[in-house]
Structure 1
Amino acid sequence: MSVHPILAASRRDAILQSLAVIAAASIAVPGTALAASPVDQAPSKGRFRERYVQRAGHRIYVRDYPGEGPAYVMVHGFPDNCRIYADIASRLSAAGRRVVAFDFLGFGASDKPDGFSYSFEQQLADLTAVVDDLGPIKVIPVGHDAGGPAAINYAVTNRSRVASLVLFNCYYANSPVLAFPDFIELCCNPKTRLLAVAMMTDPKQAAYLFQFQQEPIRAHLTPEMRERFDTVLQPIIAENFSMSPSSMPAMLAMTGNAYENLAANDLRLPVLGSFDKPLKLIWGSWDRYLNIAVAKDLAAHFPNASLTALEAEHWPQFDQPDQVVRTLLAS
């Protein structure tokens, strides 16, 4: 089973039920429908073609925004999905650039097969399948949060397909400046994982964990940003857990694999120094976890890296879409 082995099926089902309750009652703002985010409903957000890419007998959901040039292929983290890129995808498409955003297996509108081996290696394979489906064109992987490892590893191992690389607040390998958000660390750390599972089995405790993690993020936001965080971004995240089947098995498996993935990427660090394509790091400077020190540490491993710091939180593509797009399109 892809869920951590300490989870019996009954425990897993209890967690899924708990998260559905939390999503409906605790994370989402009262009166906000989870079925369709305002990001997707707004007519100014641009048109995209929905399709699926097949991999390992399962469907990866893809949104393809029309445009030319190397395609931006946008990679989400957990517990997000491709809808976090809607703001910048529509703007880039309006500027004439093609954008492809997709949901990893286990998240968003992609298949969530029961018993599937969700892992960082699986996510790299998902990204590879999406790029291969585009045909022989150049791409620009865009990685955010836990999607950073897949974007980086794809870029450095498929250089002939890659025009450049873009990273938003993310991570890659072990570093003295790296700190996972408290809730994520609770799930990742073998010493606290049993406690995390126990708390997430209890709806009240799980709601507390989610609310606890939200507050440090909301604290720095402007009133307008906070409104969008509450009414747009949080429902996107909540829907991952309220839908059936849920994204919870994938998230538990990914967090359980996080330390192992850091160690694997430690061994790959020397390869980054030979990546001769441009790298743009566009960073929300208010992020207290994956902060500017993390961005500088990442940039130091690449020979052609540039860093742009924005007045934004963990999701700069969401908080400051116009500035992010200007930076992406700048030569």
Structure 2
Amino acid sequence: MLLHGFPDNLRLYDRLLPHLDERRPVVRFDFLGWGSSDKPAGYPYTADNQTLDLAAVLDAVADRLGQNRVVLVAHDSSGPPAIDWALDHPDRVSALVLLNTYYQWLPALRLPLAIALFSTPGVRAVARALAHRRPQVQKRLYSWQVAGFMSDPAARRELVPELLRAFPSTQPAFWRLNEDLFGTLLRRRRRIPDMRRFTPPVRVVFGARDRNLNTRVALRFAELFPNADLHLLPDARHYVQVDEPERVAHLINTA
């Protein structure tokens, strides 16, 4: 199960898919509010509700494929829903793979500029107002920020315009997840004891050139989960599955 973060969608795994084991079913989906999924007005686009989205998809997969256990692959903002679900259903987790993601607040965690602008109380109201009045400014900020998430120039030329085209319709989900971010990070510190008791294997795979969800965040995940192994890919940035698709796919296949 391949999960995307924000501000992106399931297309983030396009380069990785051809390298996954064909003998194992692969499922990827857009969370509500993102990509091609429905975008219901007034829906609470929060990490808690994304956990419910994930649970619904996993239950549907289990019913359709008879596949009750899953290798859960989380990236960026899908970390909280994926880890929440895994901690609550350890018997259904074959492995948990964490790709440049986050869960609880850490001193080492650094917010990307675009995320900081729309998540920091006081600042986010001004950022939203500017986004409404000057949409071109937000588009330039988005393009600059997302381009910086990749090391591969060819991937950057291909993926940034595609994600930018999809972004306007996702703004309600983007803004709401940003509002929810600090609360998400603080509340999940209470689950550190559950992380320490989690027995399924955890594979931490981080692009080492990500300055925000950086190697210190990866090391903390590896410390907290008792059965974790750590893989730092030196040439990859935040979109590690884009920069190193073959290597990341191998680590997922063998998790």
- 1:83 pairs with 2:6: no
Shift of the 101–214 alpha-carbon distance from structure 1 to 2, 3 Å rule, reads closer
CA contact (8 A) 1:104 1:126 kept: yes
- Equivalents in 2 of 1:115, 1:328: separation in Å? 36
- Equivalents in 2 of 1:247, 1:210: separation in Å? 13
- In structure 2, the partner of 1:118 is 45
Shift of the 291–111 alpha-carbon distance from structure 1 to 2, 3 Å rule, reads same
- In structure 1, the partner of 2:114 is 183
TM-superposed CA distance for 1:93, in Å, is 4.1
Pick the aligned partner of 1:263 from 165, 171, 186.
Answer: 186
- Equivalents in 2 of 1:152, 1:122: separation in Å? 13
- In structure 2, the partner of 1:100 is 27
Q: Secondary structure at the match of 2:108?
A: coil
Greater share of residues in strand: 1
TM-superposed CA distance for 1:317, in Å, is 0.8
- Equivalents in 1 of 2:147, 2:56: separation in Å? 37
Shift of the 215–321 alpha-carbon distance from structure 1 to 2, 3 Å rule, reads closer
TM-superposed CA distance for 1:101, in Å, is 0.3
In structure 1, the gaps of 5 or more residues are: 1-72
Question: Which one-letter code corresponds to 1:330 in the other structure?
Answer: T
- Equivalents in 2 of 1:317, 1:97: separation in Å? 18
- Equivalents in 2 of 1:155, 1:89: separation in Å? 23
Shift of the 300–151 alpha-carbon distance from structure 1 to 2, 3 Å rule, reads same
TM-superposed CA distance for 1:196, in Å, is 1.2
TM-superposed CA distance for 1:237, in Å, is 1.8
- Equivalents in 2 of 1:77, 1:137: separation in Å? 24
Question: Which one-letter code corresponds to 2:121 in the other structure?
Answer: P
Shift of the 241–215 alpha-carbon distance from structure 1 to 2, 3 Å rule, reads closer
CA contact (8 A) 2:146 2:160 kept: no
TM-superposed CA distance for 1:212, in Å, is 4.2
- Equivalents in 2 of 1:83, 1:328: separation in Å? 17
- In structure 2, the partner of 1:31 is none
TM-superposed CA distance for 1:130, in Å, is 0.7
- For these two proteins, the number of residue pairs brought into alignment is 249
- Equivalents in 1 of 2:129, 2:219: separation in Å? 36
Give the % identical residues.
36
Question: Which one-letter code corresponds to 1:282 in the other structure?
Answer: V
- Equivalents in 2 of 1:101, 1:214: separation in Å? 21
Residues 128-207 of structure 1: matches in 2 within 5 Å? 128-135=55-62, 136-201=67-132, 202-207=134-139
TM-superposed CA distance for 1:300, in Å, is 1.2
TM-superposed CA distance for 1:158, in Å, is 0.5
- Equivalents in 1 of 2:229, 2:21: separation in Å? 23
CA contact (8 A) 1:81 1:236 kept: no
- Equivalents in 1 of 2:11, 2:215: separation in Å? 25
Question: Which one-letter code corresponds to 1:297 in the other structure?
Answer: R
TM-superposed CA distance for 1:227, in Å, is 1.9
- Residues 102-137 of structure 1: CA distance to partner in whole angstroms, max 9, x if unpaired? 110000111011121111111000100111011252
Pick the aligned partner of 1:247 from 164, 170, 173.
Answer: 170
Residues 230-309 of structure 1: matches in 2 within 5 Å? 230-231=157-158, 233-242=159-168, 246-309=169-232
TM-superposed CA distance for 1:322, in Å, is 0.8
CA contact (8 A) 2:143 2:160 kept: no
CA contact (8 A) 1:80 1:236 kept: no
- In structure 1, the partner of 2:254 is 330
Larger-gyration structure (1/2): 1
Q: Secondary structure at the match of 2:38?
A: coil
- Residues 222-267 of structure 1: CA distance to partner in whole angstroms, max 9, x if unpaired? xxx1121122x2133213224xxx1110111111110111111111
Shift of the 216–228 alpha-carbon distance from structure 1 to 2, 3 Å rule, reads closer
Question: Which one-letter code corresponds to 2:239 in the other structure?
Answer: W
- Equivalents in 1 of 2:254, 2:140: separation in Å? 42
Shift of the 76–216 alpha-carbon distance from structure 1 to 2, 3 Å rule, reads closer
- Equivalents in 2 of 1:215, 1:322: separation in Å? 20
Pick the aligned partner of 2:156 from 229, 233, 239.
Answer: 229
Q: Secondary structure at the match of 1:74?
A: coil
Normalization by structure 2: what TM-score?
A: 0.92
